[in-house]
Amino acid sequence: MNIYENEQDHLPKISEAELSDEQVMEELHAIREELGDKLVVLGHHYQQDDVISLADHTGDSLQLAREAAKLDAEYIIFCGVHFMAETADMLSAPHQKVILPDMNAGCTMADMANRVEIDRAWENIKKATSAKITPITYINCSALLKDFVGANDGAICTSSNAKKVIEWALEHGEKLLFFPDQHLGRNTCFDLGIPLDEMIVYNPNMQNGGVTPEQIQKAKVILWYGYCSVHQGFTKAQVEQIKKDDPETTVIVHPECSFDVVQAADMDGSTSHIINTVKNAPAGSKWAIGTEINLVNRLANEFSDKKIVSLSPYQCLCATMYRVRPRWLLESFRSIKRGEPINVISVSEEVKKNSLKALERMLKIS
């Protein structure tokens, strides 16, 4: 099955010798003015500040997916990672084109589950149990996994609606297969009252996923082994150190962090939840945030009346989000202006059909 309908473009990028950073920003603003309503720029919260300054809409994965579904613009430039642009393409109208400024902006977690592995795991699990299993995929995955979920009566979730979607899945079936992020799955299911000993981890790199048929029969939740290497960098020891140094600091983390970190933290939630919580907190309040560093730094600058630090002393940067740079964006803008758009993400109709079923189910549930 082909995911894409088109060949991908890889044009040479505009070098620093050709244009300075300031000239790049000037040209971006000028082209944008010229193209008017033809073009809309969406920016995920982890994008760098220069890119965010050009975004018409910023948001978490769910907000940007919703935005993409209601825009009229002919061109949607998605400043984020590949799976987000794919989702936007599936939710937008056929006449619209979704562009990803850097085709190498992927997501390492999304790469931890592929369709062959999921098909094989599904077969193994089905062999072990006759219970009704509902597959749920975190939106951080390729369109082929969304297609799988749609074809098997499951749904998609994001970090901000995972609870609602999993609640739906548990009413709908007896067991849950959740991929690719074990942490979001575990943290959410635990919040919903499922004990840890009713969850197992399926590792596709091990024979039969590293689990026995008896373990599959006993488990309520089967978690794929995937994780986000950025969020897995946060540790329980860091939360304890912050609390020891200053017990008045509130620790808030993203649910892609490990179970230990989420349990030790005071709060957890999606990027938008983190932003809104900090925004609504009183002046003088102190925060340690466990998520991507571009967002933490932006919050620290924006809310200078509060003390905001990263939970980790190390730079927890999402290197793939960081690939989207203003000068790559300029390549995209120029290509639209010439009428020959590059890096268009176009998911094939074959894959879109079932993926859309699962996406629409998610939008309905949340």
**Interaction site with ligand SF4 (CB under 6 A):** 81, 107-109, 140, 228, 230, 256, 292, 318, 320-321
Widest pairwise Cα distance in the chain: 63
What is the C-alpha R_g of the chain?
21
- DSSP states along 97-142: EEE-S-TT---TTGGG--HHHHHHHHHHHHHH--S-EEEEEESSS-
- State in angstroms the smallest separation of the CB of 287 from ligand SF4: 19
Tell me which residue of 333, 319, 293, 340 sits closest to 101, measured CA to CA. 333
The span from the CA of 359 to the CA of 97, in Å, is: 19
175 vs 254, which CB is nearer to ligand SF4? 254
- State in angstroms the smallest separation of the CB of 85 from ligand SF4: 12
Binding site residues, ligand 13P, CB under 6 A: 45, 60-61, 140, 158-159, 228, 254, 256, 270-271
- State in angstroms the smallest separation of the CB of 80 from ligand 13P: 8
Q: Which two tokens stand for residue 105?
A: 């902006």
**Of these partners, ligand 13P, ligand SF4, none, which one is at the site of residue 67 (CB under 5 to 8 Å by kind)?**
none
**Of these partners, ligand 13P, ligand SF4, none, which one is at the site of residue 320 (CB under 5 to 8 Å by kind)?**
ligand SF4
28 vs 139, which CB is nearer to ligand SF4? 139
**Of these partners, ligand SF4, ligand 13P, none, which one is at the site of residue 40 (CB under 5 to 8 Å by kind)?**
none
The span from the CA of 131 to the CA of 136, in Å, is: 16
202 vs 234, which CB is nearer to ligand SF4? 234
3-class DSSP state of 181: coil
| CB 28 within 8 Å of CB 329 | yes
**Of these partners, ligand SF4, ligand 13P, none, which one is at the site of residue 159 (CB under 5 to 8 Å by kind)?**
ligand 13P
159 vs 188, which CB is nearer to ligand 13P? 159
